[in-house]
Structure 1
Amino acid sequence: MRATDPGQAIAALCLHPDDFAVRMARDGVGGAYTGGTQVVKVCGITSSEDALVACQAGANLIGVIFAPKSARKVTPEQAKAVVQAVRNFGERHQDHTFKPPNDESPLPHLVSCSRQLAEASRRPLVVGVFQNQDSSFVREMVDSCGLDLVQLHGQEGFAAAKVESCGVPAIRVVDIVVDSESGRAAENAVETILESITSDPIAILLDTAIKGQKEGGGTSRSFDWTIAEKVQAAGLPVIIAGGLSPENVKDAVAGTRPFGVDVSSGTEASPGRKDHQKVRDFVQNAKQAAVEANKGF
Protein backbone atom coordinates (compact mmCIF):
# COMPACT_ATOMS: atom_id res chain seq x y z
CA MET A 1 0.00 0.00 0.00
CA ARG A 2 1.46 3.35 -1.08
CA ALA A 3 -0.52 5.65 1.22
CA THR A 4 1.39 8.16 3.35
CA ASP A 5 -0.22 6.66 6.44
CA PRO A 6 -1.31 3.04 5.72
CA GLY A 7 -3.16 2.83 9.04
CA GLN A 8 -5.34 5.82 8.20
CA ALA A 9 -5.89 4.49 4.68
CA ILE A 10 -7.04 1.10 5.97
CA ALA A 11 -9.41 2.76 8.43
CA ALA A 12 -10.85 4.90 5.65
CA LEU A 13 -11.77 1.85 3.61
CA CYS A 14 -14.66 1.16 6.04
CA LEU A 15 -14.54 -2.61 5.56
CA HIS A 16 -17.49 -3.14 7.89
CA PRO A 17 -20.81 -1.32 7.22
CA ASP A 18 -20.84 0.07 10.75
CA ASP A 19 -17.39 1.58 10.28
CA PHE A 20 -18.64 4.20 7.84
CA ALA A 21 -21.31 5.55 10.18
CA VAL A 22 -18.87 5.61 13.07
CA ARG A 23 -16.19 7.35 11.05
CA MET A 24 -18.50 10.00 9.64
CA ALA A 25 -19.94 10.68 13.08
CA ARG A 26 -16.58 11.63 14.46
CA ASP A 27 -16.22 15.40 14.71
CA GLY A 28 -13.59 16.64 12.31
CA VAL A 29 -11.91 13.25 11.82
CA GLY A 30 -12.63 11.21 8.71
CA GLY A 31 -9.52 9.11 8.17
CA ALA A 32 -7.26 9.53 5.16
CA TYR A 33 -8.84 10.37 1.84
CA THR A 34 -8.22 7.31 -0.37
CA GLY A 35 -10.71 7.85 -3.18
CA GLY A 36 -8.11 8.90 -5.75
CA THR A 37 -8.54 11.33 -8.63
CA GLN A 38 -12.17 11.55 -9.71
CA VAL A 39 -12.50 15.04 -11.16
CA VAL A 40 -10.62 16.69 -14.04
CA LYS A 41 -11.20 20.39 -14.61
CA VAL A 42 -10.20 22.27 -17.75
CA CYS A 43 -10.27 25.99 -17.05
CA GLY A 44 -9.85 29.16 -19.09
CA ILE A 45 -12.40 28.06 -21.71
CA THR A 46 -13.63 30.95 -23.85
CA SER A 47 -15.49 29.28 -26.70
CA SER A 48 -18.09 26.58 -27.20
CA GLU A 49 -15.70 24.79 -29.59
CA ASP A 50 -13.01 24.46 -26.91
CA ALA A 51 -15.65 23.46 -24.35
CA LEU A 52 -16.90 20.66 -26.58
CA VAL A 53 -13.37 19.32 -27.13
CA ALA A 54 -12.82 19.23 -23.36
CA CYS A 55 -16.13 17.44 -22.81
CA GLN A 56 -15.39 14.89 -25.52
CA ALA A 57 -11.98 14.27 -23.94
CA GLY A 58 -13.69 13.41 -20.65
CA ALA A 59 -13.33 16.57 -18.57
CA ASN A 60 -15.70 16.75 -15.62
CA LEU A 61 -15.59 20.49 -14.98
CA ILE A 62 -15.36 23.27 -17.57
CA GLY A 63 -14.08 26.57 -16.18
CA VAL A 64 -15.00 30.01 -17.51
CA ILE A 65 -13.18 32.97 -15.98
CA PHE A 66 -14.88 36.23 -15.02
CA ALA A 67 -11.90 37.65 -13.07
CA PRO A 68 -11.35 41.15 -14.50
CA LYS A 69 -7.55 40.96 -14.82
CA SER A 70 -7.44 37.56 -16.50
CA ALA A 71 -6.31 37.23 -20.12
CA ARG A 72 -8.96 34.52 -20.34
CA LYS A 73 -11.88 36.62 -19.13
CA VAL A 74 -15.18 35.82 -20.84
CA THR A 75 -18.19 37.97 -21.56
CA PRO A 76 -21.62 36.83 -20.37
CA GLU A 77 -22.44 35.95 -23.97
CA GLN A 78 -19.35 33.73 -24.25
CA ALA A 79 -20.17 32.05 -20.95
CA LYS A 80 -23.75 31.36 -22.05
CA ALA A 81 -22.47 29.76 -25.25
CA VAL A 82 -20.12 27.52 -23.26
CA VAL A 83 -22.90 26.52 -20.86
CA GLN A 84 -25.20 25.64 -23.75
CA ALA A 85 -22.52 23.56 -25.46
CA VAL A 86 -21.75 21.66 -22.25
CA ARG A 87 -25.41 21.02 -21.50
CA ASN A 88 -26.06 19.83 -25.05
CA PHE A 89 -23.12 17.44 -24.79
CA GLY A 90 -24.43 16.00 -21.53
CA GLU A 91 -28.02 15.98 -22.77
CA ARG A 92 -28.89 18.08 -19.76
CA HIS A 93 -31.63 20.68 -20.07
CA GLN A 94 -31.77 22.16 -16.59
CA ASP A 95 -29.61 23.27 -13.68
CA HIS A 96 -28.04 20.56 -11.57
CA THR A 97 -29.30 20.65 -7.98
CA PHE A 98 -26.93 19.70 -5.20
CA LYS A 99 -28.35 18.37 -1.95
CA PRO A 100 -26.72 20.07 1.07
CA PRO A 101 -25.08 17.47 3.33
CA ASN A 102 -26.22 17.20 6.94
CA ASP A 103 -22.65 17.29 8.21
CA GLU A 104 -21.89 20.47 10.12
CA SER A 105 -18.20 19.84 10.81
CA PRO A 106 -15.92 20.85 7.91
CA LEU A 107 -14.17 17.54 7.19
CA PRO A 108 -17.23 15.26 7.08
CA HIS A 109 -19.08 17.97 5.16
CA LEU A 110 -16.39 18.26 2.49
CA VAL A 111 -16.05 14.49 2.19
CA SER A 112 -19.81 14.22 1.57
CA CYS A 113 -19.64 17.07 -0.93
CA SER A 114 -16.77 15.41 -2.80
CA ARG A 115 -18.93 12.35 -3.37
CA GLN A 116 -21.76 14.49 -4.70
CA LEU A 117 -19.44 16.47 -6.95
CA ALA A 118 -17.82 13.34 -8.39
CA GLU A 119 -21.22 11.83 -9.13
CA ALA A 120 -22.75 15.02 -10.55
CA SER A 121 -19.79 15.79 -12.82
CA ARG A 122 -20.07 12.53 -14.71
CA ARG A 123 -22.03 14.83 -16.98
CA PRO A 124 -19.79 17.89 -17.31
CA LEU A 125 -20.58 20.96 -15.23
CA VAL A 126 -19.61 24.59 -15.86
CA VAL A 127 -17.71 26.50 -13.18
CA GLY A 128 -17.56 30.30 -13.17
CA VAL A 129 -14.28 31.62 -11.72
CA PHE A 130 -14.40 34.91 -9.81
CA GLN A 131 -11.81 36.93 -7.93
CA ASN A 132 -12.69 39.57 -5.33
CA GLN A 133 -15.97 40.42 -7.06
CA ASP A 134 -19.20 41.45 -5.39
CA SER A 135 -21.59 38.64 -4.51
CA SER A 136 -24.39 40.40 -6.39
CA PHE A 137 -22.33 40.22 -9.59
CA VAL A 138 -21.53 36.56 -8.96
CA ARG A 139 -25.23 35.75 -8.54
CA GLU A 140 -26.13 37.75 -11.64
CA MET A 141 -23.67 35.72 -13.74
CA VAL A 142 -24.89 32.47 -12.18
CA ASP A 143 -28.50 33.27 -13.01
CA SER A 144 -27.99 34.79 -16.46
CA CYS A 145 -25.39 32.34 -17.74
CA GLY A 146 -26.64 29.14 -16.09
CA LEU A 147 -23.44 28.32 -14.17
CA ASP A 148 -23.53 25.07 -12.17
CA LEU A 149 -20.82 26.06 -9.71
CA VAL A 150 -18.58 29.00 -8.92
CA GLN A 151 -14.95 29.15 -7.87
CA LEU A 152 -13.76 31.92 -5.58
CA HIS A 153 -10.15 32.75 -6.29
CA GLY A 154 -9.53 35.94 -4.31
CA GLN A 155 -9.52 37.16 -0.74
CA GLU A 156 -13.28 36.84 -0.28
CA GLY A 157 -12.91 34.43 2.62
CA PHE A 158 -14.71 31.15 3.27
CA ALA A 159 -18.02 32.72 4.28
CA ALA A 160 -18.41 34.07 0.73
CA ALA A 161 -18.63 30.46 -0.48
CA LYS A 162 -22.07 29.93 1.06
CA VAL A 163 -24.77 28.90 -1.40
CA GLU A 164 -26.87 31.77 -0.07
CA SER A 165 -24.17 34.17 -1.22
CA CYS A 166 -23.29 32.65 -4.60
CA GLY A 167 -26.59 31.09 -5.63
CA VAL A 168 -24.85 27.76 -6.32
CA PRO A 169 -22.19 25.74 -4.48
CA ALA A 170 -18.69 27.20 -4.54
CA ILE A 171 -15.20 25.78 -4.82
CA ARG A 172 -12.94 27.74 -2.48
CA VAL A 173 -9.36 28.29 -3.62
CA VAL A 174 -6.68 28.16 -0.95
CA ASP A 175 -3.36 29.65 -2.01
CA ILE A 176 -0.13 27.79 -1.27
CA VAL A 177 2.24 30.74 -0.95
CA VAL A 178 5.73 29.89 -2.18
CA ASP A 179 8.96 31.84 -2.17
CA SER A 180 9.66 33.38 -5.58
CA GLU A 181 13.25 32.07 -5.64
CA SER A 182 13.26 28.78 -3.76
CA GLY A 183 9.69 27.75 -4.59
CA ARG A 184 9.25 26.55 -1.01
CA ALA A 185 6.06 26.95 0.99
CA ALA A 186 5.82 27.69 4.70
CA GLU A 187 6.55 24.77 7.00
CA ASN A 188 3.11 25.08 8.61
CA ALA A 189 1.23 25.15 5.28
CA VAL A 190 -0.65 21.90 5.98
CA GLU A 191 -1.72 22.96 9.47
CA THR A 192 -2.82 26.37 8.16
CA ILE A 193 -5.06 24.77 5.53
CA LEU A 194 -6.68 22.34 7.93
CA GLU A 195 -7.32 25.06 10.51
CA SER A 196 -8.86 27.45 7.98
CA ILE A 197 -11.48 25.27 6.32
CA THR A 198 -15.19 25.68 6.98
CA SER A 199 -18.37 23.94 5.85
CA ASP A 200 -19.23 26.74 3.42
CA PRO A 201 -17.66 25.49 0.14
CA ILE A 202 -18.38 22.30 -1.78
CA ALA A 203 -14.67 21.65 -2.43
CA ILE A 204 -11.19 22.99 -1.74
CA LEU A 205 -8.76 23.78 -4.55
CA LEU A 206 -5.08 24.31 -3.80
CA ASP A 207 -3.21 26.66 -6.13
CA THR A 208 0.16 28.36 -6.20
CA ALA A 209 0.66 31.96 -5.13
CA ILE A 210 3.98 33.81 -5.18
CA LYS A 211 5.05 35.46 -1.94
CA GLY A 212 4.71 39.25 -2.21
CA GLN A 213 2.25 39.19 -5.09
CA LYS A 214 -1.23 40.47 -4.26
CA GLU A 215 -3.23 38.21 -6.54
CA GLY A 216 -2.99 34.43 -6.26
CA GLY A 217 -3.41 31.88 -9.02
CA GLY A 218 -2.45 31.99 -12.67
CA THR A 219 1.26 31.63 -11.88
CA SER A 220 1.84 28.56 -14.10
CA ARG A 221 4.00 27.27 -11.25
CA SER A 222 3.54 24.14 -9.17
CA PHE A 223 3.65 23.99 -5.39
CA ASP A 224 5.07 21.09 -3.41
CA TRP A 225 2.49 18.37 -4.07
CA THR A 226 3.37 16.58 -0.83
CA ILE A 227 1.39 19.36 0.87
CA ALA A 228 -1.75 18.11 -0.87
CA GLU A 229 -0.82 14.54 -0.01
CA LYS A 230 -0.50 15.40 3.68
CA VAL A 231 -3.77 17.36 3.69
CA GLN A 232 -5.57 14.37 2.18
CA ALA A 233 -3.92 12.05 4.71
CA ALA A 234 -5.75 14.14 7.31
CA GLY A 235 -9.05 13.43 5.54
CA LEU A 236 -9.58 16.47 3.30
CA PRO A 237 -10.09 15.74 -0.44
CA VAL A 238 -8.53 18.49 -2.57
CA ILE A 239 -8.28 19.61 -6.17
CA ILE A 240 -4.79 20.74 -7.17
CA ALA A 241 -3.84 23.40 -9.71
CA GLY A 242 -0.78 25.39 -10.64
CA GLY A 243 1.70 24.48 -13.33
CA LEU A 244 -0.05 21.28 -14.42
CA SER A 245 0.38 20.10 -18.00
CA PRO A 246 -0.09 16.96 -20.10
CA GLU A 247 3.55 16.14 -19.35
CA ASN A 248 3.44 16.27 -15.54
CA VAL A 249 -0.16 15.43 -14.64
CA LYS A 250 0.65 11.70 -14.53
CA ASP A 251 3.22 12.33 -11.81
CA ALA A 252 0.80 14.56 -9.89
CA VAL A 253 -1.97 11.97 -9.97
CA ALA A 254 0.24 8.95 -9.33
CA GLY A 255 2.20 10.54 -6.49
CA THR A 256 -0.50 12.57 -4.76
CA ARG A 257 -3.79 10.92 -5.78
CA PRO A 258 -5.68 14.22 -5.39
CA PHE A 259 -9.46 14.27 -5.55
CA GLY A 260 -9.15 16.47 -8.63
CA VAL A 261 -6.75 18.24 -10.99
CA ASP A 262 -7.23 21.60 -12.69
CA VAL A 263 -5.43 22.93 -15.76
CA SER A 264 -5.59 26.19 -17.69
CA SER A 265 -2.43 27.56 -19.33
CA GLY A 266 -0.93 24.08 -19.61
CA THR A 267 -3.40 23.22 -22.39
CA GLU A 268 -3.30 26.46 -24.35
CA ALA A 269 -2.13 27.44 -27.81
CA SER A 270 -2.32 31.06 -26.59
CA PRO A 271 -4.11 32.75 -23.67
CA GLY A 272 -7.82 31.97 -24.05
CA ARG A 273 -7.35 29.55 -26.96
CA LYS A 274 -6.97 25.85 -26.29
CA ASP A 275 -4.61 23.48 -28.03
CA HIS A 276 -7.07 20.67 -28.63
CA GLN A 277 -4.47 17.92 -28.61
CA LYS A 278 -3.06 19.17 -25.30
CA VAL A 279 -6.54 19.12 -23.81
CA ARG A 280 -7.07 15.54 -24.95
CA ASP A 281 -3.64 14.47 -23.72
CA PHE A 282 -4.11 16.13 -20.32
CA VAL A 283 -7.45 14.49 -19.60
CA GLN A 284 -6.36 11.12 -20.92
CA ASN A 285 -3.09 11.16 -18.96
CA ALA A 286 -4.86 12.20 -15.76
CA LYS A 287 -7.50 9.50 -16.01
CA GLN A 288 -5.08 6.75 -17.00
CA ALA A 289 -2.80 7.66 -14.11
CA ALA A 290 -5.80 7.61 -11.75
CA VAL A 291 -6.65 4.06 -12.79
CA GLU A 292 -3.05 2.93 -12.28
CA ALA A 293 -2.74 4.71 -8.94
CA ASN A 294 -5.86 3.00 -7.60
CA LYS A 295 -4.32 -0.42 -8.18
CA GLY A 296 -2.14 0.09 -5.12
CA PHE A 297 -5.12 0.65 -2.80
Structure 2
Amino acid sequence: MSVKVKICGITILEDAEAAVDAGADALGFMFYEPSPRHIAIAVAAAIIQELPPFVAKVGVFVNASSEQVRRTIAECGLDTLQFHGDEVPGFCRQFGLKAIKAFRVRDKESLRQMTDYRSEAWLLDSYVEGKSGGTGACFNWQLAREAGTIQRRIILAGGLTPENVGQAVREVRPYGVDVSSGVESAPGQKDHAKIRAFVEAVNSSADSTRAL
Protein backbone atom coordinates (compact mmCIF):
# COMPACT_ATOMS: atom_id res chain seq x y z
CA MET A 1 0.00 0.00 0.00
CA SER A 2 1.07 3.60 -0.54
CA VAL A 3 0.79 5.82 2.53
CA LYS A 4 0.45 9.56 1.96
CA VAL A 5 2.69 11.89 3.96
CA LYS A 6 1.60 15.36 5.07
CA ILE A 7 4.11 17.75 6.64
CA CYS A 8 2.13 20.30 8.62
CA GLY A 9 3.01 23.66 10.10
CA ILE A 10 5.05 24.97 7.17
CA THR A 11 6.12 28.58 7.75
CA ILE A 12 9.00 29.22 5.32
CA LEU A 13 9.78 28.31 1.72
CA GLU A 14 12.97 26.41 2.59
CA ASP A 15 11.02 23.98 4.76
CA ALA A 16 8.38 23.52 2.07
CA GLU A 17 11.05 22.75 -0.52
CA ALA A 18 12.79 20.31 1.82
CA ALA A 19 9.51 18.47 2.39
CA VAL A 20 8.79 18.28 -1.34
CA ASP A 21 12.32 17.06 -2.07
CA ALA A 22 11.92 14.37 0.60
CA GLY A 23 8.78 13.08 -1.10
CA ALA A 24 5.93 14.60 0.93
CA ASP A 25 2.52 14.37 -0.71
CA ALA A 26 0.94 17.32 1.09
CA LEU A 27 1.97 20.43 3.01
CA GLY A 28 -0.14 22.00 5.75
CA PHE A 29 -0.41 25.72 6.43
CA MET A 30 -1.81 26.75 9.81
CA PHE A 31 -4.23 29.69 9.62
CA TYR A 32 -4.90 29.76 13.37
CA GLU A 33 -3.27 32.68 15.17
CA PRO A 34 -2.73 31.08 18.61
CA SER A 35 -0.58 28.37 17.03
CA PRO A 36 3.22 28.79 17.13
CA ARG A 37 3.09 27.59 13.51
CA HIS A 38 0.62 30.26 12.38
CA ILE A 39 1.35 31.70 8.96
CA ALA A 40 0.05 34.90 7.41
CA ILE A 41 -2.06 34.53 4.29
CA ALA A 42 0.35 36.55 2.14
CA VAL A 43 3.35 34.48 3.27
CA ALA A 44 1.53 31.21 2.61
CA ALA A 45 0.46 32.43 -0.83
CA ALA A 46 4.06 33.25 -1.74
CA ILE A 47 5.20 29.77 -0.69
CA ILE A 48 2.34 27.96 -2.42
CA GLN A 49 2.98 29.60 -5.77
CA GLU A 50 6.47 28.07 -5.74
CA LEU A 51 5.24 24.52 -5.13
CA PRO A 52 4.81 21.86 -7.82
CA PRO A 53 1.23 21.04 -8.81
CA PHE A 54 1.32 17.43 -7.60
CA VAL A 55 1.78 18.46 -3.94
CA ALA A 56 -1.47 19.10 -2.04
CA LYS A 57 -1.74 22.52 -0.41
CA VAL A 58 -3.75 22.10 2.78
CA GLY A 59 -5.15 25.02 4.75
CA VAL A 60 -5.69 24.22 8.43
CA PHE A 61 -8.46 26.11 10.23
CA VAL A 62 -9.83 26.09 13.77
CA ASN A 63 -13.37 27.46 14.08
CA ALA A 64 -12.78 30.08 11.40
CA SER A 65 -15.71 31.88 9.78
CA SER A 66 -16.76 30.87 6.28
CA GLU A 67 -15.66 34.32 5.10
CA GLN A 68 -12.16 33.76 6.49
CA VAL A 69 -11.91 30.38 4.83
CA ARG A 70 -13.12 31.70 1.47
CA ARG A 71 -10.70 34.62 1.57
CA THR A 72 -7.80 32.32 2.37
CA ILE A 73 -8.73 29.92 -0.45
CA ALA A 74 -8.93 32.79 -2.93
CA GLU A 75 -5.64 34.41 -1.92
CA CYS A 76 -3.55 31.27 -1.41
CA GLY A 77 -4.72 28.80 -4.01
CA LEU A 78 -5.46 26.02 -1.52
CA ASP A 79 -6.77 22.73 -2.91
CA THR A 80 -7.60 20.99 0.38
CA LEU A 81 -9.11 22.20 3.66
CA GLN A 82 -8.52 20.72 7.11
CA PHE A 83 -10.89 21.62 9.92
CA HIS A 84 -9.51 21.16 13.41
CA GLY A 85 -12.23 22.74 15.52
CA ASP A 86 -15.94 22.23 16.19
CA GLU A 87 -17.03 22.66 12.57
CA VAL A 88 -20.27 20.87 11.68
CA PRO A 89 -20.51 18.63 8.58
CA GLY A 90 -22.37 21.21 6.50
CA PHE A 91 -19.72 23.83 7.18
CA CYS A 92 -16.95 21.52 5.99
CA ARG A 93 -18.74 20.69 2.73
CA GLN A 94 -19.68 24.20 1.60
CA PHE A 95 -16.42 25.25 -0.05
CA GLY A 96 -16.25 22.84 -2.96
CA LEU A 97 -12.76 21.55 -2.10
CA LYS A 98 -11.49 18.33 -0.60
CA ALA A 99 -12.09 18.42 3.14
CA ILE A 100 -10.30 16.70 6.01
CA LYS A 101 -11.99 16.70 9.41
CA ALA A 102 -9.71 16.35 12.40
CA PHE A 103 -10.81 14.62 15.59
CA ARG A 104 -9.08 14.51 18.95
CA VAL A 105 -9.26 10.90 20.07
CA ARG A 106 -9.50 10.14 23.76
CA ASP A 107 -11.47 6.88 23.94
CA LYS A 108 -14.02 4.77 22.07
CA GLU A 109 -16.68 7.37 22.74
CA SER A 110 -14.63 9.78 20.63
CA LEU A 111 -15.34 7.64 17.58
CA ARG A 112 -19.10 8.13 17.74
CA GLN A 113 -19.03 11.76 16.59
CA MET A 114 -17.12 10.88 13.43
CA THR A 115 -19.90 9.05 11.62
CA ASP A 116 -21.73 12.31 10.86
CA TYR A 117 -18.84 13.48 8.68
CA ARG A 118 -18.53 12.25 5.12
CA SER A 119 -15.36 14.18 4.40
CA GLU A 120 -12.50 13.22 2.11
CA ALA A 121 -10.60 11.87 5.11
CA TRP A 122 -10.57 11.83 8.89
CA LEU A 123 -7.45 13.01 10.66
CA LEU A 124 -7.10 11.40 14.07
CA ASP A 125 -5.05 13.32 16.63
CA SER A 126 -4.43 12.88 20.32
CA TYR A 127 -6.64 14.56 22.91
CA VAL A 128 -4.87 17.09 25.11
CA GLU A 129 -7.00 19.48 27.15
CA GLY A 130 -6.95 23.01 25.77
CA LYS A 131 -5.10 22.14 22.56
CA SER A 132 -6.58 21.82 19.07
CA GLY A 133 -3.61 19.92 17.66
CA GLY A 134 0.16 19.85 17.46
CA THR A 135 0.30 18.16 20.84
CA GLY A 136 3.28 15.91 20.18
CA ALA A 137 1.46 13.15 22.08
CA CYS A 138 0.35 9.73 20.80
CA PHE A 139 -3.01 8.07 21.41
CA ASN A 140 -4.16 4.45 21.38
CA TRP A 141 -3.63 3.35 17.77
CA GLN A 142 -6.15 0.54 18.20
CA LEU A 143 -8.83 3.24 18.13
CA ALA A 144 -7.49 4.40 14.77
CA ARG A 145 -7.78 0.84 13.46
CA GLU A 146 -11.40 0.75 14.61
CA ALA A 147 -12.12 4.07 12.92
CA GLY A 148 -10.65 2.60 9.75
CA THR A 149 -13.50 0.09 9.61
CA ILE A 150 -15.90 3.04 9.17
CA GLN A 151 -13.87 5.44 7.02
CA ARG A 152 -11.34 4.08 4.55
CA ARG A 153 -9.26 7.25 4.49
CA ILE A 154 -7.75 7.63 7.93
CA ILE A 155 -4.87 10.07 8.39
CA LEU A 156 -2.95 9.27 11.55
CA ALA A 157 -1.46 12.14 13.56
CA GLY A 158 -0.41 12.79 17.13
CA GLY A 159 3.11 12.27 18.40
CA LEU A 160 4.50 10.72 15.24
CA THR A 161 8.28 10.85 14.74
CA PRO A 162 10.82 9.24 12.41
CA GLU A 163 11.36 6.67 15.17
CA ASN A 164 7.76 5.51 15.67
CA VAL A 165 5.97 6.20 12.38
CA GLY A 166 7.06 2.88 10.89
CA GLN A 167 5.36 0.98 13.68
CA ALA A 168 2.29 3.21 13.33
CA VAL A 169 2.00 2.42 9.63
CA ARG A 170 2.35 -1.31 10.24
CA GLU A 171 -0.23 -1.35 13.06
CA VAL A 172 -2.86 1.02 11.69
CA ARG A 173 -2.35 0.79 7.91
CA PRO A 174 -3.63 4.34 7.46
CA TYR A 175 -4.37 6.18 4.24
CA GLY A 176 -1.89 8.82 5.37
CA VAL A 177 0.19 10.17 8.22
CA ASP A 178 0.55 13.75 9.42
CA VAL A 179 3.50 15.22 11.29
CA SER A 180 4.44 18.63 12.61
CA SER A 181 6.36 18.76 15.89
CA GLY A 182 7.90 15.34 15.23
CA VAL A 183 10.11 16.80 12.48
CA GLU A 184 10.98 20.08 14.19
CA SER A 185 13.97 21.45 16.06
CA ALA A 186 11.68 24.08 17.64
CA PRO A 187 8.00 25.01 17.14
CA GLY A 188 7.62 26.16 13.55
CA GLN A 189 11.25 25.31 12.65
CA LYS A 190 11.49 22.15 10.59
CA ASP A 191 14.52 19.86 10.76
CA HIS A 192 15.21 18.78 7.19
CA ALA A 193 17.06 15.62 8.20
CA LYS A 194 14.09 14.57 10.33
CA ILE A 195 11.72 15.20 7.43
CA ARG A 196 13.77 12.93 5.17
CA ALA A 197 13.99 10.25 7.86
CA PHE A 198 10.24 10.44 8.46
CA VAL A 199 9.32 10.01 4.81
CA GLU A 200 11.83 7.18 4.40
CA ALA A 201 10.42 5.38 7.45
CA VAL A 202 6.88 5.67 6.09
CA ASN A 203 7.85 4.38 2.66
CA SER A 204 9.88 1.45 3.95
CA SER A 205 7.11 0.39 6.34
CA ALA A 206 4.47 0.71 3.64
CA ASP A 207 6.60 -1.47 1.37
CA SER A 208 6.99 -4.14 4.04
CA THR A 209 3.25 -4.07 4.76
CA ARG A 210 2.52 -4.49 1.06
CA ALA A 211 4.69 -7.59 1.00
CA LEU A 212 2.67 -9.33 3.74
Specify the TM-score bucket, using the shorter chain as the normaliser.
over 0.9
Match of 1:84 among 49, 54, 67: 49
Question: Is 1:65 matched up with 2:30?
Answer: yes
* 2:98 and 2:120 in contact (8 A); partners too: yes
- Structure number with larger C-alpha Rg: 1
1:68 shift after superposition:
1.5
Change (3 A) 1:250 1:149: same
Matched, 1:148 2:64: no
CA–CA distance in structure 1, aligned partners of residues 151 and 96 of structure 2:
27
Distance 1:235 1:68 in 2: 30
CA distances 1:186-207 after superposition (whole Å, capped 9, x unpaired): x4444x155x3333x2211111
Query: Do structure 1's residue 46 and structure 2's residue 11 form an aligned pair?
Result: yes
Identity of aligned residues (%): 38
Quote the Cα distance in structure 2 between the aligned partners of 1:69 and 1:250.
31
Select 1:288's aligned residue among 180, 199, 204.
Answer: 204
Counterpart of 1:197? 116
If the length of structure 1 is used for normalisation, what is the TM-score? 0.68
Aligned length: 212
2:89 equivalent in structure 1: 158
Tell me the distance in 1 between the aligned counterparts of 2:153 and 2:116.
12
- C-alpha spacing 1:169/1:293, structure 2 compared with 1 (3 Å): same
Q: Partner of 1:45: helix, strand, or coil?
A: coil
Aligned CA-pair RMSD? 1.6
CA distance in 1, matches of 2:201, 2:7: 13
Which of 239, 245, 263 lines up with 2:161 in the alignment?
245
Does the 8 A contact of 1:152 with 1:173 survive in 2?
yes
User: Could you tell me which residue of structure 2 aligns to residue 111 of structure 1?
Assistant: none
Name stretches of at least 5 consecutive residues in structure 2 with no aligned partner.
none
Give 1:206-225 correspondences, 5 Å limit: 206-210=124-128, 213-225=129-141
Q: Which structure dedicates a bigger proportion of its chain to strand?
A: 2
Shift of residue 63 of structure 1? Answer: 0.5
Compute the TM-score of the two structures, normalised by the length of structure 2: 0.94
Shift of 1:236: 2.9
The answer to whether the 8 Å contact 2:59/2:78 transfers is yes
Q: Structure 1 CA distance, aligned partners of 2:126 and 2:209? A: 24
Among 48, 58, 61, the alignment partner of 1:130 is 61
Shift of 1:231: 1.9
User: 1:279 maps to what in 2?
Assistant: 195
Deviations 1:58-112 (A, max 9, x none): 10010010112100000112101221121xxx2x3xxxxxxxxxxxxxxxxxxxx
Question: How far does the alpha carbon of each residue in 1:118-165 deviate from its partner, in whole angstroms, 9 at most, with x for none?
Answer: xxxxx2111010101101101100110111111000011222111x3x
Tell me by how many angstroms 1:280 deviates: 0.6
Note the C-alpha offset of 1:167: 4.5
